[in-house]
Every structure is written in C-alpha cells, then in structure tokens.
Amino acid sequence: MILQVMLDDFAKGTFLRCGRKFSKTELAIVFGHLMCMYFPNSHGYYIGPTMKHAGELVWHNRRLPDFFTKLRQYAGEDDEDYRLRLIRGRALNKKWVLKVNNAEMRKYFTNGSWFKVDGADNFGNANGMNPHFIIYDEFKLHDPRFHEAMEPNLTTNKAPILIVGTPPEGSKTYYTKIEKDFQMSRGFKAFCLPSYINDIIYPGGRKDPDFLELEQRYKDRGEEDVFKREYLAQYVAGGSRAIFPVFEGPEYDVTGDSIVEYSAHVRPHGEILAKLEVGPSDWEYYAAYDAGTVTCFAAIFAAVNSVTKEVLFLDEIYEKDQSKTTSKQIYDRARVIMAEYSDDWYEVYDNAAAWFANEVHHEYEDASLIPCTKDINVKESRLGMIKDAMIYRYFKLSEKCKWARWEIENYYKDDKGRIPKEDDHLIDAIRYLYNAANYDFVPQVEFKEISRTSYNFMDDIATEDEYANIIGDLYE
C-alpha cells in the first residue's frame, strides 16, 4: 500500500512515522530501486543522519549495493522457493545493475539511473543537488539545514521525497514540524506504522505473543512511554514540560487515520452519539471559534451535560489554507456541523476577533455569537480545569477531533517553562468554551465511568439503542 501511494498515486512526498523493526530501511531501498528502474536516467539519494551512519545502515552491510543478490531465507520458506528467489535475483542484477562505486557509495543502473548514499551532515552540498527522488532515513537525527537547502531543489524535477523514521522524544521538533506539513499539504501523505504490522516478525499482529511479551517487559520497567514511542510509533505526552501529561491518546492503524484501540479520552463517534441520546434535555451545545486568517482558523463543537458535567467534543474545524479562512466559508461549515446535533447552540469567540462576529452577523441575521472576555489573555486560565477533567474522565474527544488530539498531545512548555503561543488554536477554543459554559465540577448526580471492558464498540455486537441502555447506568 505504501509503495502504491508513492508510485501509482505518485505523491509529492510521503512521511512514514514508524516503529522499530517495521523494515523502514528495507522499504526505502526498495523504493529507490523501483524509481531507478521505472524511470530511466533518474538520479536519487538515500540520506542518513551522517554519511558514516548512512554507510553503516545500507552500504557496508551490502543491503543496497547487493540488493538483488543478498537475499535471506524467510522463516517458513522452503529451500526450493528460496533457491528460485536467488536465481531471479541474479537475473535482475544482471539486467539492471551496471556497476557499483564503493568509494562514492553510488550504484549505477543500465538505463542511465543511479542511486547514491549520503548524509544530512553534508548540508552544504544540498544546494547543488537536483535529484529525481530523495529518501531521508532516521529523520529524527537529521540536521534540519539539509532539508531546508534541499526542499527548493525538489521542484526542478518534481522529485518525490520519502521520509522515514521512529518518532523523537518530545514534540516541538523539526521532525514533527515536517510531519505536520505533510499532513496538511495537498499531494502529500503521512502514515503511522507500528512495529506489529511487520507480519514476518509479528505474524499475530497487535496480539502476537512476542509483541505482547515485549510490551509487558517495558511496562514492568516503568517504561510504557518508551514502548509506545519506539514500537507503536506514538508521540507520548509525558515529561516535565508536557502541559497535558494525563491525556491518553489512541492507537492508530497503518494509515494513521483509523483507530485500532481507543483510549479513556478518545472515543468512537458512535459512542459519543449514543451518550447524547441519554437524558437529551441535560445536554447544552457549545461552539467556540479561534478566528484567524494568517495562520489557522479553528473551531470546536461540544456538548456539556449540566447534570453529570461530562463534556463531549463532537467535531472540529481546523483550516490552514488561507483561501478558505474567510468568515463566510468557516461559518457555513460550522452551521452544517451544528445542524447535525441540535438547533440550539451557544456560540462564543475570542473578543479580540470582533471582526469575525461582525462579518457573521452581517451575513446571517439569525446568528448569535457572544464574545469570551473572562481571563481570555491568561493562558493558564482553564488549562488546569481541562487537565482535571481529563483526570476524572469528564473529558471525551470524538475520534473526529483529530487536530484537537494533535494539539493536546504536542502541547509543551518551552525551555524556559513558558506556555507556547503556537499550535494551540483548538486548545484556545476549548478554553473559550469552558468559560462560556461557566464550567464547574459539581455534578448533580454521581458520575460513573463505564468500564472499557463492558462494551467494545469495535466489535459491533450491539445496536445503538442497546448501547444507549448501557450508558443509562450513568444515571442510576
């Protein structure tokens, strides 16, 4: 599937956030060879963190220069099948490989293409390169100056770029910056690839006994965060600088869009809808806007239960395309979202963005937006309450709120302990929402969290009505 995106769909760029032993380097080598074979006279680069590191990763062990002939026997593969693969490999090598230059770490193909190994430490050389494709491996260790110099050169030959690597410790890094750029840019793709999807190493997938045993060893050492980062390819909201260290993120599948395992704070959208059916008169609906036309226009939509104080975040708008951030375009989208849930909404906005409210009121006579003025300029305002809501399970994000998840998981104080003023658009909108709702932690009845084992929404074994009955336990 990954190769199909890169070759058949011909993505401008593909970012693979991988777990260990996913075989990311092998995939990178395969991609490079296919580009050289399919497109004559193509010149491509495999870039490691340093030239020495890149050489150790793919050249000195002969993984790249002897790609067609250095084949290992797979587990369960019989000797005859292995022998036939070796024969085919030698035939391919004879047909396609012209020569190998070990001094330059460059492989020449019979159709005029070549594939060279280099390092991001040679960032000065990047200015003179005009590749037809390029690959970055172990990207979290790269010197950012290499990509900054290389990126303009990719337009010369419309060169696709493949970036692979395990996620770094921490979130405010060049790695996460580039991944987010790929997620938001048209024609680019980003994937999350946990280790267990390598069915050669873990034939049982997520439930493979060896993978579960590995996970338990990390948990026993108190290093579950390391396991999540290194093997599930997750960003872990932990450490002394994390503003929301208690937030539990979900586990994603291969595409990075679907969720394999939900968490205490991120729930299936169908479950959220079922909750709204229980005591419908107890739910109040809020839309909060963080208006911006320069960087991002964000809005969050939520239901607040006046009895249990549970807050369900239903949907979001997160628009960075400046051609789509006008008041009318955003508010048209907001009205469509709100109509799905209720006819009665409280709508609040940052009082510093009075232009947004004025333009909306001018366009829509029935609109009723109110400014949020209480503690609006104090970043700490309501952040502690949001954190408490997470701790006591009052805070639930629908799976649809993917950018709210991203901001929460990547919200860290800077090196001087200051709260950041970037990538917090939906977080600000959530603060406005809590202020507008005059939120407090005084439920009229005791709130009871449903056991995650009492109902697995992914098993699809209950109807929505049956699940509504289960949620009714909250009010007993």
Per-residue pLDDT tens over the stretch 54-73: 999 999 999 999 999 988 88
Q: How far apart are CA 203 and CA 200, in angstroms?
A: 6
Residue-level pLDDT at 458: 35
Q: What is the pLDDT along the chain (476 residues), one digit of tens a residue?
A: 566 666 666 778 999 999 998 888 999 999 999 999 999 999 999 999 999 999 999 999 999 999 999 888 877 788 899 999 999 999 999 999 999 999 999 999 999 999 999 999 989 888 888 999 999 999 999 999 999 999 999 999 999 999 999 998 766 689 988 998 888 888 898 888 899 988 888 989 888 999 999 999 998 888 888 898 899 988 776 556 778 888 888 876 655 567 777 889 999 999 999 999 988 999 999 999 998 767 789 999 999 998 888 999 999 999 988 889 999 999 999 999 999 999 999 999 988 888 999 999 988 988 889 888 655 556 666 788 888 889 888 999 999 999 999 899 888 877 777 787 788 899 999 999 998 888 876 655 555 554 433 334 333 334 445 444 444 443 33
Residue-level pLDDT at 329: 93
Q: Which of 16, 35, 408, 331 is nearest to 190 (CA)?
A: 16
Q: How far apart are CA 385 and CA 40, in angstroms?
A: 60
Angle made by CA atoms 289, 291, 292, in degrees to the nearest 5: 150
Q: How far apart are CA 275 and CA 271, in angstroms?
A: 6
Residue 184 near residue 176 (C-beta atoms within 8 A): no
Amino acid at 77: E
Q: Give the three-state DSSP class for 319.
A: strand
Interacting residues of 64 by C-beta distance below 8 A, sequence separation 6+ = 29, 32, 46, 58, 107, 115, 117
Interacting residues of 146 by C-beta distance below 8 A, sequence separation 6+ = 47, 120, 121, 122, 123, 126
Residue-level pLDDT at 383: 84
Residue-level pLDDT at 466: 46
Q: Which of 430, 330, 419, 324 is nearest to 379 (CA)?
A: 419
Q: How far apart are CA 27 and CA 309, in angstroms?
A: 48
- Domains located in the chain, CATH noted: 2-193 (3.40.50.300), 269-475 (3.30.420.280)
pTM of the model: 0.68
Q: What is the largest CA-CA distance in the chain?
A: 78
- What b/e readout covers 61-99, taking b as 16+ CB neighbours within 10 angstroms? eeebbbbbeeeeeeeeeeeeeeeeeeeebeeeeeebbee
- The encoded tokens of residue 194 equal 């946990």
Per-residue pLDDT tens over the stretch 184-218: 888 898 888 899 988 888 989 888 999 999 999 99
Q: How far apart are CA 28 and CA 137, in angstroms?
A: 8
**Helix residue ranges, H only, 205-301:** 209-220, 224-230, 269-276
Cβ-based burial of 423 (10 A; exposed 0-12, middle 13-18, buried ≥19): buried
How many Cα atoms within 13 Å fall on the side-chain side of residue 403? 23
For strand 13-18 and strand 297-305, is the pairing parallel, antiparallel, or unpaired?
unpaired
Q: What are phi and psi of 286, to 5 degrees?
A: -130, 135
Q: How far apart are CA 68 and CA 57, in angstroms?
A: 17
Per-residue pLDDT tens over the stretch 386-427: 888 898 889 999 999 999 998 998 888 777 777 877 888 999
Q: What is the CB neighbour count within 10 angstroms for residue 301? A: 27
3-state helix, strand, coil in the chain (%, to 5): 40, 20, 40
Residue-level pLDDT at 198: 87
Q: How far apart are CA 147 and CA 56, in angstroms?
A: 21
